[in-house]
Every structure is written in C-alpha cells, then in structure tokens.
Chain A
C-alpha cells in the first residue's frame, strides 16, 4: 500500500517526509533532485491529472491519493481519476473556496482550503488583543475513556488545536504509546502535555466507567487543569446503557463547565450546523459555531428553529463577517424536533454545535440522541 501525492511543492514535500512509502508526481523536472533526497519516497515527473500516467503508476493498491498542486483544475481532474479507480481515501487541496461545490459533487470526502485557513489564522494574529477573539479554545483536554481515545478524540483534538493554536493536555495511562502521541503532536505543531495516570487513579476510573459519576471531572480537577474544551471519543452504548442512561459522555457533558466535543469526524470541518432558538444558551451556540467555522474555513449553516430576535442573528452575522465565515440561514417550517433530527442526520455536516441540554424548543431527549448517535462530531456548549 502506498500513498500518491500529486504536486511536489513545499506542502507535498513536507507531507512526503511524514509519509514514507509515498510516490510524488511533479510536473517540474527541476524539483526531482530535491524530492529524491526524501527517504523512502519515489518521484515521477509528469502531469498528475494525466489518466494514462496514473494508470501506469497504478491506482489499485493505493492507500491515499493526495492532490496538492496550486491549480484547482489539475487537482479536480486528478481526484476524479482517483475516484473512478476507487481509491479509498482522497484528499484534495482547493485554493478557491468557491470551488467547493464542484469537488463535493465529485464525492470527495476530504477537501482542504489552505488559503482560507491561513487567511483566518493571520486575521487572528492581527485581531488578537483587539477585542473579541475568534479563537475559541486555548486549552483542550483529552481525558481517557478507553484505549481508542488516542486514535480518535486525540486526532480531532490535534486538528483543532493546530488551527486554534491551543495546547492539548491528554491524560494517559502507561499502556498507551506516549511516544506516538508526542510524535503526532509534533508533526502538527501542537504543544502537548501528557499527564500520566497513576495505577490507583486508573483503577478508580475503570471502576466507574460503567456506572460513572462525576469521577472523571473530579479527576481532572485533581490535576488543577481547567480546560476550555474537552474532546472525547464517542461511546458504543448498548440498549441497557441507553435505558439506564449509563453514558460517560452524557455525564461528562452534564458535569463540565466548558464545551465538550464528541469526536467522530477526525478531519477539518467544511460544513458546520448550529441550532439556534430564542433561549439564552443559543448565544453561546452562535458564538462557538462562528469561531469553529472561522478556524476551519468552514461554511456555517444556522438552523433557526423559532422566532429568534433579529439582533441576535445580526450579531452572529457580524461576527461571521469579521471571521470571514460564510453563513447560510435556514428557517425551519414544521416541528423543530423533527427538522433538527432530519438536518443533523442528513450527513451534510461534519460538526453540529448544540446546546448542552434541552432548551424547550429542542428537548433534552433529542440532545442526548444527537450526542450519542449523530453521524458527525458534536460540540455541546454551555
């Protein structure tokens, strides 16, 4: 299994250095020498959007196809060919955010907008210290729920931290490969602290994992670490767990005084949905959703569930303008509960920003359902 990288520019080179067993296709023959210095990386000079060339290279045994040239048309053609050959993972760099739809229609799952992300980051630097910040989190905590946390919640935490310039603290047990975690954080330029579990604490957590109290939060407080956001893995709940409401994640959301993100996407968000009603908490929903959309260069879909004061929507739009976020308003007709379920389940979004508990218009039952079963990542805000 190999990775194919189209475009041997700086980004392509950096990536290939992290991904041994890669093949770079670069149009400019002058870059061959520099690229060949990378260990375990093959280089082919040619057009990455040329089907004949790609056929020659062979797309059958490819793990990931990553098209990173600065030309959207080349990336589009290359991705279309890879898609046709059924490459399991296709990642595309898109320069012009307005090109998004074309790539989405192609069925590409992973679309990156470096221009927008970089522009937003620079905007952040310029605006920092000048009033409202558009970076939502400075300290992210990844508590341990099970050994897969490193794989899932940790990855999403690193993605968010890398754009939010936040530091990540993971509470780790010795049976998790800390070196691997550190290496991943370093690659993404994220400051990582690992707090090692002691045997005694670990046994307390394990004991309470099935019937959790607020033990995890107490445990976090013991470390005197007050995060801005907790990122956790989704849980696999059985029928009995659901019936008796034995969910660690839900308990955590209930106890936490900061937003909790349930990780399911493991990539940058492109489309974020936020539920907006007239409750007080929806102010936070609006703020966090704009901030997240700004960080990831995502579109923000505001699902407006009832008559919301005009000034609140205007406030969100103003914030969106400041953060270079495209906001799409959607006023619902019909029953809010049903429409929320319909939208969140549609698979059109990578992140749903919701209140942490029922607000009246949206019941707490539905909130629980979204947290447990939504197909996207879920950020519950307080």
Chain B
C-alpha cells in the first residue's frame, strides 16, 4: 500500500489534486470548489475508497481549513459598500433573510417539521458564494457585495440562532446562554481598541503590513486574532466558525483590505487549507447511503432550498434585471459548510434523524455544485453578450 510509504502520502495526494482541479474545472466550466468536492467523492469512500478523510492530520487540516474559510469570508466583506450606501445594504440583506426564514418556517411547518429544519434551510454559504463571485470578477461590484451581505446576514443569523437554539435546548434559559455575549464583547473591544491603535501607533502597525518584514509579523498577528476568537467561541459554546468569521470581519472593518497582508492570507487559505476542506467534504460523503430509502427527501429539500432563496431575492428587482435577481437567488441557494455543521449538530441533539442528516449533506453537495455553476453560466453568457 502506498500509504505506508510515508505518513505524508494522503496530504501529497490531496495537494496534487488541489493543484490540478482548478486547471481542469476551468476547462470544463465548473467552479473549482465543485471540482474539489467531486474529486473528494471519487477518491473518497464512495467510489475509489483511497482515502476516508479521517487520516491523521487530514481531518484536522480540513477542519482548520473550514475555520480559515469562514475567516476569509469575513475578511472579504467590503464594508466600504455599506459605508457608501449606509444601512440600506444591511436592511436589504435582513429583509431578504427574514422573508427566507418566514417562507422556510411556513413550508416546513406544513410538512410537519420543526423550527430547526426551517433554520437549516435558511442558511446560505458565504464560503461558496464568495469564491464564485470572486471568480466572476464581481467582488468589488455593488451587485456582488449585495449578494455577499445577504449571505453574510443569513449565515451570521442562522449561526447565532443555532447557538441560542442549542443552548436553550441543552440548558433552558440559563446564565451560560449569556456567556456567548463574551464573544461579541470581545469583538467590540478588539474593534474599538484596534481603531484607537491605528490612530495612536501607526508607525508600529505600519510594519505589519509591509511586504519585507522578516518574521511576517502581520500574518502571525492575524492568526493570533483568529485563534483568540476560535478558542473563546469553543470555550463558551458558540460555533467556532462564528468566532472565525467575526475575526475576519474585524480585520476587514479595521484595515479595509487591499493590502499585501490580505494577499498572503488568501495565499495560505485558497492555496492550501481551503481545498483540503472541500476535498475532505467529498471524501466523507457516503454516496451509497442514497439507496437506503430516503432518496425522496432530496428532491423535496432541493425544491424548498431554491424556493426559500429565489422568492426573497426578487427584492433585487428594485435595482437589477430579472436575470440578475434570479442568478442572485440561485447563488444564495448554495449551502455547504454551515448546513453540514447544522446537520451534525441536529443529529447529535436529536432534532433530526439520520435519514434527514444524510439528505441535508447531499443537498449541500448538490446545491454547492449546481448553484455556482448556474451563476457562472448566467454571468459568462452575459459577458459574451
């Protein structure tokens, strides 16, 4: 077995695939993320069975890749759009999310499911959406930022509601629930003192962002900030990805991006950690579980997943064409990391059964494959026109 040759073999294989996939997926015309998941399914337990995704180091790198993905997602929100347009953009995102949650709740209620499933279906995936928008060169456009902010609000609110719901379920209304406030207090404290530090000590901070610092102090500081939030979140029982996301948001709010430091962080994330996460998602998926009699759940969830996102996205019509609005709705329908995390949490706490959890994972993979592809297809066509 080649794996015995070296403990680094699984990592070697994944890294080589991570290098080849963007080249191939670009030719085929699907987003790299999709290519990575499909590659993971092929090399994982479902098809070739080369890897399980549980190999030493791989599982950890993949989970840290997920955390880093959320960190970069926070970092990539361009708050200048919010500044220029005022609270309008946030109001817009909130409105879209509230409508999503309302439709989701009423549909799931009619089908006999509870609030937890409604919450699951209200998620988006900033992690899938940001790379897709980035690929189309729409990251700096108002349209792109509107989608990202909407996804951000959907993800952020569901993460928050998930935490509250879980804590409530576990402890009822207890003082531990208020511990999660610590994460937000830390957020505001870091933001406030960060602002102060920029004004008071610009000379010292300046070095962090220069490309020639021998110790890469800026990268070290970013990782320290990320881990402070991740660890605190874990300790107080908040999802670690929420902490990572907030750490990214702080950096974006304080420094407004566009610097060498950010490029370095993107390099570490998109160049190494994040592909490992996406390939791992594919590797862990059990395709043969499809045959165990819950296959009917998938089309139902898929239809609901699109409806709850596309209908509220018609708000985009106030400023954009029908095609753009629908493309925004389709892209917002993509769900991946958060919904998978929610499936795991739901299963653990008994909110959903195994069949539903598997269906949710398949839904995540399908939407994360289909949605960015359709979005890319619509906008590529538009570019050609």
Q: Which residues of A contact B (CB under 8 A)?
A: 306, 333-339, 341-342, 345, 357-366, 369, 373
Q: How far is the CA of A364 from the CA of B84 in the complex (A)?
A: 9
Q: Which residues of B contact A (CB under 8 A)?
A: 78-81, 83-84, 195, 198-199, 202-203, 205-206, 208-211, 253-256, 258-261
Q: How far is the CA of A359 from the CA of B79 in the complex (A)?
A: 10
A334 with B210, Cβ < 8 A, contacts A358-B80, A361-B256, A362-B256 known:
yes
Collect the chain A residues with CB atoms within 8 Å of residue B198's CB: 337-338, 341, 366
Closest 9 CB pairs of A and B: A360-B80, A342-B202, A334-B209, A341-B202, A335-B209, A358-B83, A335-B259, A338-B202, A338-B205
Q: List 23 A-B contacts (CB under 8 A).
A: A333-B210, A333-B260, A334-B206, A335-B205, A335-B208, A335-B209, A335-B259, A336-B256, A336-B258, A339-B206, A341-B199, A341-B202, A342-B206, A345-B202, A358-B80, A359-B80, A360-B256, A361-B80, A361-B258, A366-B198, A366-B199, A369-B199, A373-B199
Give the dominant DSSP class at B's interface: helix
Q: How far is the CA of A358 from the CA of B255 in the complex (A)?
A: 12
Question: In angstroms, how far is the closest chain A Cβ from the Cβ of B254?
Answer: 7
Q: How far is the CA of A188 from the CA of B209 in the complex (A)?
A: 47
Collect the chain B residues with CB atoms within 8 Å of residue A359's CB: 80, 84
Collect the chain A residues with CB atoms within 8 Å of residue B84's CB: 357-360
Collect the chain A residues with CB atoms within 8 Å of residue B78's CB: 360
Out of B80, B81, B259, which one reaches A363, CB within 8 Å? B80
Residue in A362, A363, A366 with the greatest tally of chain B CB atoms within 10 Å: A363
Out of A336, A342, A357, A365, which one reaches B195, CB within 8 Å? A365
B80 & A335 in contact (Cβ 8 Å cutoff): no
Question: In angstroms, how far is the closest chain B Cβ from the Cβ of A345?
Answer: 7
A337 & B255 in contact (Cβ 8 Å cutoff): yes
Q: How far is the CA of A364 from the CA of B87 in the complex (A)?
A: 14
A363 & B202 in contact (Cβ 8 Å cutoff): no
Q: How far is the CA of A199 from the CA of B198 in the complex (A)?
A: 44
B256 & A363 in contact (Cβ 8 Å cutoff): yes
Q: How far is the CA of A86 from the CA of B210 in the complex (A)?
A: 41
Collect the chain A residues with CB atoms within 8 Å of residue B253's CB: 363
Collect the chain A residues with CB atoms within 8 Å of residue B202's CB: 338-339, 341-342, 345
Question: In angstroms, how far is the closest chain A Cβ from the Cβ of B138?
Answer: 16
A337 & B256 in contact (Cβ 8 Å cutoff): yes
B195 & A335 in contact (Cβ 8 Å cutoff): no
Q: How far is the CA of A229 from the CA of B266 in the complex (A)?
A: 44
Please name 13 further chain A to chain B contacts, defined as beta carbons within 8 Å, in addition to the given A335-B208, A335-B209, A360-B84, sorted by A numbering. Answer: A306-B258, A334-B259, A334-B260, A337-B198, A337-B255, A337-B256, A338-B255, A342-B206, A357-B83, A360-B83, A362-B256, A366-B198, A373-B199
Q: How far is the CA of A377 from the CA of B253 in the complex (A)?
A: 26
Question: In angstroms, how far is the closest chain B Cβ from the Cβ of A336?
Answer: 7
